[in-house]
A = this chain, B = another copy of it.
Amino acid sequence: MGIKERKAREIDQRRELILTVAEEIINSEGIDKLSVRKIASKIEYSPSLIYHYFKDKDEILKHLMEKSYKKIVGLLKSVQTSTEDPKDKIRKMTHSYILLALQMPEQYKSIMLNSSADILSHTSVLFDGASTKRQAVAILCQCLKQIDKYKNTDDKHIELTAQIIWATTFGLIIRMIIENGIDDTQKNLLIQHHIQFIEDGIIQKKT
C-alpha cells in the first residue's frame, strides 16, 4: 500500500505546487491577473495539465481562499491565550494580529478585500449580530465585558465597539500593506499609536 500512499502524496504535492505558484502570481501581479496559462507556464507544463489536478479555475481559487482564510483565522487563535487581564489581552492580540497579517500581505488582502459572497460569509464583521457569528468579534466582546467600565453596557454597544476595533485595525493593516516601503520603525510607531488609541477609547468609555 506504500505505493498508493506515495502517489497520493505526490498528487498532493502537485496540487500544493500549483497553489503555491498561483499564490506567487497573485502576490506579484494581483488576483485578477491570475490565469491558468500563467500558472502552467510558471511550472513549465501545459495548461491542460492543471485540469488534472483541479476541476477548474474556480476550484483553484477556492482552495487558495480557504488556505488563506484558515491562516488568517489561525492568527487570532495563536495569540488569544497569553494573558488574563482583558485590556492587556486586547492589546496583545491586536498587536500580534497586526504583525502576523503583515507577514502575509497579499493573502491578507485577497481575503479581506474580497467581496464574493462566499468569502464574505466568513469575513464580514460589521452586521448586527456579528458578536455571536464571528469569532474575532466574539473574542473582543468577551474581553470588553470583563472590563469594569463595560459592566453595565448593553450588548449591542459592546458589539459596536468590537466592530470598530476590528474595522479600524483592518484599516491600518491594509494601508500599511498598500503603502509598501514604510520602514519598520515607522510601522512600529503606527502600531503602538493605534493600540494606544484603542486603549484610550476603551478606558474612556462610560455610558
Contact = CB atoms under 8 A, between A and B. Distances in A.
Given A32-B32, A113-B113, A203-B204, A194 B179 contact: no
Interface in A172-207: 172-176, 178-180, 182-183, 186, 189-190, 193-194, 197-198, 200-201, 203-205
A189 to B, nearest CB: 6
A164 B190 contact: yes
Contacts of A115: 178, 180
Contacts of A176: 126
Contacts of A161: 193, 197
A167 interface: yes
A169 B189 CA distance: 18
A163 B180 contact: no
A186 B96 CA distance: 29
B178 A125 contact: no
A172 B171 contact: yes
Contacts of A193: 160-161, 163-164
A120 B200 CA distance: 31
Interface string A119-152: 0100111111000000000000000000000000
Contacts of A32: 32
A170 interface: yes
A168 interface: yes
Given A113-B174, A201-B201, A125 B179 contact: yes
Contacts of A168: 167-169, 171-172, 194, 197
Given A167-B175, A200-B204, A182 B113 contact: no
CB-CB nearest 10 A-B residue pairs: A171-B171, A168-B168, A200-B204, A124-B179, A197-B201, A160-B193, A200-B201, A167-B172, A167-B175, A170-B171
12 contacts: A125-B175, A126-B176, A126-B186, A127-B179, A160-B193, A167-B172, A168-B168, A168-B169, A168-B172, A200-B201, A200-B204, A201-B201
